[in-house]
Amino acid sequence: MGKNLVRGAFLAVVGTGAVAALMFGTAANAATIVNTGITTTVTNGNSNGATDNVFLVGEANPDSIFEGNLGSQNGSTQVLFNADVLVNIGNGFASGSISPSGNLIFDKLLVSLEGNATFYSLQFQVEGATAFTITDNFGNTSVVTGVKNNDNQFLTVSSATGFTSLLIDANVGSFQSFKQFELGDTVTAVPEPSTWAMMLLGFAGVGFMAYRRRASGSLRIV
């Protein structure tokens, strides 16, 4: 039912003319991408030079929640992955991969950063699904159809305002593998105003208690 709703929303948006459909590749293997708020592009032959390689870190057994380290296999863990089924995780960057365990149908993959940090682009390779929707944490979408399944094609999702998570959701078919994730610029999350207020209140309370201790310590009984 969810997939039908996505398709219906896609057709409604196209009907209004609110978004533009972009064509990439040859006529025989063209990808159609409808961007609404975020931008997805397809690059054949090489990556777009994103700044941080993501090295997948997997366990011996299939899992649905796993991590990625930036820069190296032993780098800092910043990227979080959440699949809708158990998946096999191959360690590494170029050799790393995410694939469904057994005959499970792999439809969804959520990518986010620790601490709700913001990132401005995500690049990856995908095989399996012939159509899928990419949705950011603000509800902006890219609907991608007709993507060629091979090792020479990279998808790059980007936004001028950034996002804290991306959900990749299969519309036609299911995912067979993801690999070679690369992040663009990342920014550590800034605390909300309410968080700042609580922190300042806490500091003020600690300062007041220290003042009271000093004041009581200076009293003498004669």
What residue type is 23 in one-letter code? M
Higher per-residue confidence, 144 vs 22: 144
Higher per-residue confidence, 192 vs 92: 92
Q: With b meaning 16 or more CB within 10 Å and e meaning fewer, what string describes 182-194?
A: bbbebeeeeeeee
Rounded average pLDDT over 22-27: 40
pLDDT at 121 over 70: yes
Rounded average pLDDT over 105-127: 93
Per-residue confidence at 75, pLDDT binned at 50, 70, 90? confident
Q: What is the pLDDT of residue 30?
A: 66
Structure tokens, 200: 């300042």
Indicate the SS3 state at residue 95: coil
Per-residue confidence at 22, pLDDT binned at 50, 70, 90? very low
pLDDT at 79 over 90: yes
| DSSP letter (8 states) at residue 70 | E
pLDDT at 99 over 90: yes
Average pLDDT over all residues of the chain: 77
| Residue linked to tokens 């663009």 | 184
Q: What is the pLDDT of residue 67?
A: 95
* pLDDT, tens only, 146-175: 877 766 778 899 999 999 999 999 999 999
